[in-house]
Amino acid sequence: MRNTKWLGVLLTLATVFFVGQARSSRGADLPEWEIPKGVSESIVIPVSEEELMETVRQALSAGGVPSSSIKKVVLEEFGPVYMATVENRKSPVFARFVARRVPCGDCHDVFFVYSFDNVGFLKFIPVFITKRYNHMWNAQDAAKIERRFVGKPFQERLAFDPSIDAVTSATMSSKIVFHSLNETRDVYQKLVELGMVKEGQ
């Protein structure tokens, strides 16, 4: 009887251990459909509205000097998108604020802004993205993402290769950034459907 009791305890401990290991090792293999879209109401934005808008203006300025009037629309699937006209450009420039949960118990949520026009990507700015030991992404980390996207058309989705594309000690966050940037074609099409911009403009 006593042996049976201890056997049950050992089996329970083994189950807890292996389930925990499975959850913590999901990492880069997490299917894209498990990454939540939009901005969850339960996510706490780590910056003020004023700080966020300053980052949005900075992202928009990658396409030229933005007008003082910036329009905002919240897309159900993709979150807030900002639009502004810029000097010496016929087409508007857009900036999208992305806030995503990271499906990892020890990870922080991901927040960033990026801009694009009717053709491709213009600028990527981390708002709050961490890596191992809670270190924030630095300029070199952001530059790594920009090298893969900025100046390239958003019509073609870029595959994520962890061995090449992941920021060191931030594979899951990097994957979420890639996944979000690869949504831009759908974001732009939604803006066209809403009449905010004419296709190709």
Residue 58: count other Cβ atoms within 10 Å of its Cβ.
Answer: 15
pLDDT grade for 74, boundaries at 50, 70 and 90: very high
Hunting for tokens 């910036």 — which residue is that? Answer: 70
Query: What is the predicted pLDDT for the residue at 40?
Result: 52
pLDDT grade for 156, boundaries at 50, 70 and 90: confident
The reply to whether 61 and 71 lie within a common domain is yes
pTM, 2 dp: 0.76
Best CA proximity match to 170, nearest among 198, 200, 195, 142 = 142
Identify the helix (H) or strand (E) that includes residue 201: none
The sign one gets for the Cα dihedral 138, 142, 144, 145 is: positive
Is 200 domain-assigned? no
Residues above pLDDT 90, as percent of the chain: 50
Query: What is the predicted pLDDT for the residue at 105?
Result: 66
Is 101 domain-assigned? yes
Is 121 domain-assigned? yes
pLDDT grade for 13, boundaries at 50, 70 and 90: very low
Is 170 domain-assigned? yes
The reply to whether 60 and 22 lie within a common domain is no
Is 154 domain-assigned? yes
- Average pLDDT over the chain, rounded to an integer: 79
Rounded to whole angstroms, the Cα distance separating 165 from 171 reads 8
pLDDT grade for 91, boundaries at 50, 70 and 90: confident
Total domains present in the chain: 2
The reply to whether 65 and 144 lie within a common domain is yes
Task: Quote the domain boundaries for residue 147.
Answer: 31-193
pLDDT grade for 46, boundaries at 50, 70 and 90: confident
Rounded to whole angstroms, the Cα distance separating 132 from 122 reads 28
The reply to whether 7 and 101 lie within a common domain is no
Rounded to whole angstroms, the Cα distance separating 192 from 94 reads 12
The reply to whether 139 and 47 lie within a common domain is yes
Rounded to whole angstroms, the Cα distance separating 7 from 103 reads 33
Query: What is the predicted pLDDT for the residue at 6?
Result: 43
Cβ-based burial of 141 (10 A; exposed 0-12, middle 13-18, buried ≥19): buried
pLDDT grade for 68, boundaries at 50, 70 and 90: confident
- Whether the per-residue pLDDT at 104 is higher than 50: the answer is yes
- Encode pLDDT of 165-194 as tens digits: 999 888 889 999 999 999 999 999 999 999
Q: Tell me the mean pLDDT in the region 32-52.
A: 66
Query: What is the predicted pLDDT for the residue at 201?
Result: 58
